[in-house]
Structure 1
Amino acid sequence: MCGIAGVWRKRDPIGAGDLSDIAGMMQALAHRGPDDHDSWSSSRLALGHRRLAIIDPSPAAREPMPTACGKGVLAYNGEVYNYRSLRQALETEGCIFRSVSDTEVVLQALHHWGPEKAVPLFDGMFSFAYFDARDNALWLARDRLGIKPMAVAETAERILFASEDKAILASNGFGRRIDAREITLRLAWQHRDSSFSLFDGIERLPPAGLWKITDAGIEKRCFWHVLDVLEAARITGDRISDDEHIAKLEALIEDSVDIHCIADASIATACSSGVDSGLITALSKRFRPEIHGYVVDPRLGRSEAENAERTGRRAGVPLRRVPVDRDRFFELWPKAVWHLESDGWHASHVGLLALAEQCRADGVKVLLTGEGADELFGGYKWQAESMRAWQAWSWPGRLFRSKRWLDRKFGRLRHAPFKTSTGNSSASERNLVLRSLSPELNFLQTRIFDRLEPVTPLGDRAFLGCCLYDLYSHLQDLLNRHDRLSMAASVELRVPFIENRLIDFAIHLPRRQKLRGRTGKWLLKKVAEKHLPRENVYAPKKGFEISSGFTQGSQGLLRGGYLRDALKWPAAAVEDLVDLARRDEASRLRLVGMELFLRLHAGGETAGNLTHALHAAAAEASG
């Protein structure tokens, strides 16, 4: 896990200014790689790398890493967990290795097989820049579901790229302009954190992005998309017994946890009281007997620490509580927003940052979590609720509706097939949203629903489609949050559920293996029964709750003017919005979080100053 930065000159050779920019970009990414740093340059390209040494911490694995022939070079962020099997295949074809790192395997695979063949073979989380001097091509890539980030900006003379937007902002001459449209989209609850930037002129590689940069410009493509690999016939033709499915899933998860435990550094788990992180914690004990876990312990409201410790006792894994009181919350909230490069729209962001900082203080470099299971295996209530709109086609409901009525209703629902579909209350509202907000996401809903056409009944089709859509919406928020906040503390966060074979297995499961009766994640819970306390497995899903009391009173910051000016609020409406934020926690988190973002990135205020401002606002509100 690392930070990468680069400058590609379109015409002129790399100069002193470009090398100075690389140094500044690397400094902006120091938190992503405190263990080492280096740079490399050729006639048109300069690369920088900040290293967090996890696999092969020796100097032999230093980056940017050139090939032995000097015709290829790699700056890489992440882990490719199947690197050992890839190395064996490369060695049989004559490749010679100088280190035991996964970095060199990635480099040799790209150089020997070519990016278009090699990248789909990588099983893990990654973003990288690979330069092939043989045809003067620069390749930028990102893993299939976008666990690792990559930002890109194109100017008249250069193409800049880096692991985080703030590194591009650190380059000379690049303006720090906030995109007001993106602010509006975030406030409108659009899931855009992973693939879109709040800074004008910066874009992000999408999940599975594979971009080729040459003198002809940027050729943008993707090497993987769920629509391209989904086989509806595998879903409709599934006749496998429950026991076989359970055994297959358990074996896949065990294999994934095994490879995710590969590290020459200390590993721990984030263990809540839920099924997903609890199962990862229990299975990781087999491969790292010394492993321990962490659980956030809020000092306001409900804490899941006690229930999480029940999982720890069953698994034989000791848990360490990470306390968060209001002072700690106000200390970390602005810092979290700084690293997210977006509003801190969920109070749990602070909890994750507190957990990551405790890991780092304890010398832990790698943290395993359970993210991805709800999207892949059907764990969210809105996925089940997506079935309700399609009840008219179920027996005996369809007997009481004419075919003409059903056809008209199908035509409307097809464009807003899921519970989370934006603008599904009326045709005019839906069309407004499709035209003006996030068309790339909103039209994806229909494409996924149509791709599942063979699946019946329609409620099953909507449920499975909603799960697939969440891979590109809700999960993107989570993955962006986890990368930014763990790396803020120089901790590598790994997600064993997001593994190639597990993804393929999960997206081809029929609805009955995900939702049975009222039980979501049915199949995953049957596996978890073998490893976790039953009361934890079947407890109601609560998510990562942080009491609204932590942020109460912070709405006073909205009078400061940054968000007001960016969105051109009328002066008379400011107090109404302050009152809305006071009454409604979701609005308070979104609005105050965006105000913090603007003060940090547009106003130049420090996180420490904003902590004092939060305390002052809360004191004023309570007084």
Structure 2
Amino acid sequence: MSKLPRSLFCEEGLSFYLQHSLKKMCGIGGVVRRNGRIDAMDQVALARMMRAEAHRGPDDEGAFSASRVLLGHARLAVIDLSASARQPMPNETGDVWITFNGEIYNFEALRRELRASGHRFRSNSDFEVLLHGYESWGLEGLLPRLHGMFAFALYDARPLHERKLYLVRDRLGIKPLYYADSKDRLLFASELSAIVASGLISATPAEAALTSFLALGSVPGPGTAVEGVFMLEPAHYMELSEGSRSFHRYWSLPAAAAAGNNNDNNGGRDDDIENVRGLLAESVRMRLVSDVPLGVFSSGGMDSATLVALAAKFSSEKVTTLSVVFDEPGLPVLNEARYARVVAKRYDTDHREIRLDGQDFLGALPDVFRAMDSPTVDGVNSFFVSRAAREAGLTVVLSGVGGDEVFLGYPHFRKLRALAPFVPWLERSPRFARRLLASFVSASAAWHSRGKLEYLESVNARNLYLLFRGLFSPGQINELLPGSEPYEIGGDLPSTLEDDDLLRSAMRLEFGSYLRHQLLRDTDVMSMTHSLEARVPFLDHALVEAVFRLPHHVKFSRGVNKPLLMRALDEPLPREVWDRPKQGFTLPFQSWLVDHREELAERALAPGIFESRAVERLWDAFARGRTHWSRPWALVAYSAWLERLQAIGAASRAECTAQKIRPVAWRAVGA
């Protein structure tokens, strides 16, 4: 282990730090004292947080200490593998420091601009441009210039700048950043479990988060599944100085006023398509920069095939592709191997297949649950393909996450578009009539449909979205958790129709809910648990903005899913890829859960949270094919996550007792 300067820690903290090596870790973390100076409690807390993020990378570690600030960093080296890129990193004068997680894809252009203005660079890393860019342009001038995924802490120790700390998160929330705040100190880290592992916060599950999880399949921000811990919202930064804290938004999706009229045929001209084509190609090209082996997740679908095609176009070497093959009889509909092989043959890739069966799934469950930083019904597929990518020698992969959100590929977008003309009629209908209709349908429908029309009792954008996207309905949640409080989607998401446009409101909900709190969160934690960096070219903010501004008619076609994506390619994808039914990247959970339902149902009941008869009815409905696998799996996933949370809390309490450190009281002060 590379030892830290002894002066950074007092004897107690240093002894604990050396005892629990930080050698195998990746991520960022820190402690900021609001009152007083950094002490042994803070040093031990930082060491524990960084140890909890050990799985995020094996390459390097470091720490910085000032009178009231501790910054920690552990690195998965991707660009500039040398010691000169070690973090936390200072500027030339040593009074501005940064600890950074992510990638800045346009760093070379920014570096040239900063060098021309007199800045000197100590490394070839991508993140050093943040230090010098902050000095030249300030944070508000720097952030709009960045293309990338990032979460970072920047400490400005200059007296004239009030010794401020900034916490910053990328526009779309690709990289996570969590914090807990009290009157005495603020903690921050890349993972929720790291905050809990600090020993300075009680491992108490948030009751409101559980009902939200059951409604959505994930926990919406800015709160988390743990009391007193919050996530910094995407496209925001926190500014912290002595005695004050403030939050600032620096980007948002285009407003309806800037998007033009979606009800006519304006837009979608050749120059609009050419703009999207150029932005998509440039997004992939920028994300191919790496000093370590890189590949592409390939499901054989349109999104991943697009990435393979563009990666092959811009790469000087043969592209590595990976796909999942299921060794399960009778599951041809889920086995996309043949489509991935078609893509691999067309673009001449070095193609690898990962074979999985039910026993692989069951055997890996303990590792999956250990990696589950927040309760989720998704992420297991990402765990397996990320593990295989790392075993294949890759450190970076391109993922198709975001393609369906940007180009409106999900079936519910088509359904919502079809429903839009009837919204005024639903709004005018008496509430009692909608309630009677909901009661009638609920009484006669199968379990998986029962309760869905509860959302029609109040016609608004959120409820219409949840009509198709919701996991459990409010009535079903009350069966599982009698007396539970109403849930919230969270954040600043619209409840009213944006400019009377149901589809645009649904797109905003998709970005702010499912994409942000489930897909991106799961992709990050499941890839980083294998020290793998996943890049998402479809979520380049310039590409998102351009597509979001185009009228809806450009994004739909009777014969082809995602026609805008098809038009944005120089050459068409193989016909077998685009001329087939839409299918997401998923695993054969239905079969696997049926085979092991007794032990999994027992696990769902173990914590005693859910009403036992409701759980039994749910599993019975699943066994008879009357509900989707995601609903019983949600109970298993939450129970397993809670068990992990309690284990982390117990270990932290034991270490706190051994170190004679007491947890502090944290208050609910989320953004």
- Give the alignment's TM-score, normalised by structure 2: 0.80
Comparing 74-83 and 302-311, the one that deviates more? 302-311
- Count of residue correspondences: 583
The residue aligned with 1:306 is: 338
* 1:79 CA drift (Å): 0.5
Say whether the 8 Å CA contact 1:55–1:101 is kept in structure 2. Answer: yes
* 1:528 CA drift (Å): 4.7
* 1:602 CA drift (Å): 2.0
The residue aligned with 2:60 is: 36
What amino acid does structure 2 have at the position aligned with 1:222?
Answer: R
Say whether the 8 Å CA contact 1:468–1:507 is kept in structure 2. Answer: no
SS at match of 1:566: coil
Q: Any gaps of 5 or more consecutive residues in structure 2? A: 1-24, 435-455, 479-484, 651-671
* 1:89 CA drift (Å): 2.1
What amino acid does structure 2 have at the position aligned with 1:9?
Answer: R
Q: Does 1:390 align with 2:420?
A: yes
* 1:209 CA drift (Å): 1.9
* 1:328 CA drift (Å): 1.5
The residue aligned with 2:630 is: 586
Q: Does 1:420 align with 2:472?
A: no
Q: 1:437 aligns with which of 461, 476, 487?
A: 487
CA 1:363–1:56: 2 relative to 1, 3 Å:
same
The residue aligned with 1:332 is: 364
What amino acid does structure 2 have at the position aligned with 1:505?
Answer: A
The CA distance in 2 between the partners of 1:475 and 1:228, in whole Å, is 19
SS at match of 1:543: coil
What amino acid does structure 2 have at the position aligned with 1:137?
Answer: K
CA 1:46–1:416: 2 relative to 1, 3 Å:
closer
Q: Does 1:168 align with 2:209?
A: no
Write the deviation string for residues 134-157 of structure 1: whole angstroms up to 9, x where unpaired: 221110011011000001011342
* 1:467 CA drift (Å): 2.0
What amino acid does structure 2 have at the position aligned with 1:277?
Answer: S
What amino acid does structure 1 have at the position aligned with 2:193?
Answer: K
Say whether the 8 Å CA contact 2:268–2:554 is kept in structure 1. Answer: no
SS at match of 1:129: strand
Map residues 275-294 of structure 1 onto 2, 5 A cutoff: 275-288=302-315, 289-294=317-322
Say whether the 8 Å CA contact 2:206–2:225 is kept in structure 1. Answer: yes
The residue aligned with 2:409 is: 379
The residue aligned with 1:620 is: none
The CA distance in 2 between the partners of 1:303 and 1:421, in whole Å, is 29
SS at match of 1:149: coil
Map residues 108-187 of structure 1 onto 2, 5 A cutoff: 108-134=132-158, 135-187=162-214
The CA distance in 1 between the partners of 2:495 and 2:643, in whole Å, is 38
Write the deviation string for residues 446-496 of structure 1: whole angstroms up to 9, x where unpaired: 35x33x35xxxxxxx322332232111121211111001000100000001
The CA distance in 2 between the partners of 1:324 and 1:604, in whole Å, is 30
Q: Does 1:600 align with 2:648?
A: no
* 1:388 CA drift (Å): 2.7
CA 1:209–1:581: 2 relative to 1, 3 Å:
farther
Write the deviation string for residues 553-601 of structure 1: whole angstroms up to 9, x where unpaired: 235344357665334x3x5555445434544422221111112112222
Indicate the percent of aligned positions where both proteins have the same amino acid: 30
The CA distance in 2 between the partners of 1:402 and 1:468, in whole Å, is 22
Say whether the 8 Å CA contact 2:493–2:508 is kept in structure 1. Answer: no
The CA distance in 1 between the partners of 2:121 and 2:387, in whole Å, is 35
Bigger relative contact order, structure 1 or 2 (CA pairs below 8 A, ≥6 apart): 2
CA 1:392–1:593: 2 relative to 1, 3 Å:
closer
Q: Does 1:343 align with 2:389?
A: no
The residue aligned with 2:101 is: 77
Write the deviation string for residues 197-242 of structure 1: whole angstroms up to 9, x where unpaired: 2111111011112111111232122211226586133757874554
Say whether the 8 Å CA contact 2:171–2:252 is kept in structure 1. Answer: yes
Write the deviation string for residues 239-290 of structure 1: whole angstroms up to 9, x where unpaired: 4554433332222111111100011111100011110111001110122222
CA RMSD in angstroms comes to: 3.3
SS at match of 1:345: coil
The residue aligned with 2:384 is: 354
The residue aligned with 2:275 is: 248
Say whether the 8 Å CA contact 1:416–1:423 is kept in structure 2. Answer: no
What amino acid does structure 2 have at the position aligned with 1:298?
Answer: F
The residue aligned with 1:321 is: 353
Q: Does 1:505 align with 2:546?
A: yes
Q: Does 1:100 align with 2:147?
A: no
The CA distance in 2 between the partners of 1:558 and 1:262, in whole Å, is 46
Q: 2:51 aligns with which of 20, 27, 46?
A: 27
Say whether the 8 Å CA contact 2:199–2:649 is kept in structure 1. Answer: no
Say whether the 8 Å CA contact 2:297–2:322 is kept in structure 1. Answer: yes
The CA distance in 1 between the partners of 2:468 and 2:248, in whole Å, is 27
Write the deviation string for residues 75-122 of structure 1: whole angstroms up to 9, x where unpaired: 000011111121222223222212111111112112332212212221
The CA distance in 1 between the partners of 2:163 and 2:648, in whole Å, is 39
* 1:421 CA drift (Å): 5.2
Map residues 26-65 of structure 1 onto 2, 5 A cutoff: 26-65=50-89
SS at match of 2:637: helix
* 1:8 CA drift (Å): 0.5
Q: Any gaps of 5 or more consecutive residues in structure 1? A: 454-460, 607-623
What amino acid does structure 2 have at the position aligned with 1:554?
Answer: R
The CA distance in 1 between the partners of 2:345 and 2:118, in whole Å, is 49
The residue aligned with 2:216 is: 189
The residue aligned with 1:615 is: none
CA 1:70–1:416: 2 relative to 1, 3 Å:
closer
CA 1:353–1:305: 2 relative to 1, 3 Å:
same
The CA distance in 1 between the partners of 2:426 and 2:232, in whole Å, is 47
Q: 2:528 aligns with which of 455, 468, 487?
A: 487
Comparing 134-143 and 355-364, the one that deviates more? 355-364
SS at match of 1:390: helix
The residue aligned with 2:12 is: none
Q: 1:514 aligns with which of 555, 573, 581?
A: 555
Q: 1:198 aligns with which of 199, 218, 225?
A: 225
- Give the alignment's TM-score, normalised by structure 1: 0.86
Q: Does 1:549 align with 2:591?
A: yes
Say whether the 8 Å CA contact 2:168–2:237 is kept in structure 1. Answer: yes
The residue aligned with 1:609 is: none
Say whether the 8 Å CA contact 2:603–2:636 is kept in structure 1. Answer: no
Comparing 509-518 and 163-172, the one that deviates more? 509-518
